[in-house]
Amino acid sequence: MTLKETAQLLQEINRFFPGKITLQPETVEAWHRLMKTQSYREVIERLDRHVACSKFPPLVIDLYEQPRPERNKQVLGQIDEWEANASGGPIQS
Cβ–Cβ < 8 Å for 21, 57:
yes
Lowest average pLDDT, out of 27-31, 45-49, 77-81, 88-92, goes to 88-92
> Is the pTM above the cut of 0.75?
no
Lowest average pLDDT, out of 35-44, 67-76, 77-86, goes to 67-76
Cβ–Cβ < 8 Å for 43, 9:
yes
Which is higher by pLDDT, 9 or 90? 9
Kindly report, residue by residue over 21-66, the tens digit of the pLDDT.
Answer: 989 999 999 999 999 999 999 999 999 999 999 999 999 999 999 8
CATH number of 3-84: 1.10.8.200
33: left (phi > 0), else alpha (psi -120 to 50), else beta?
alpha
Domain extents in the chain: 3-84
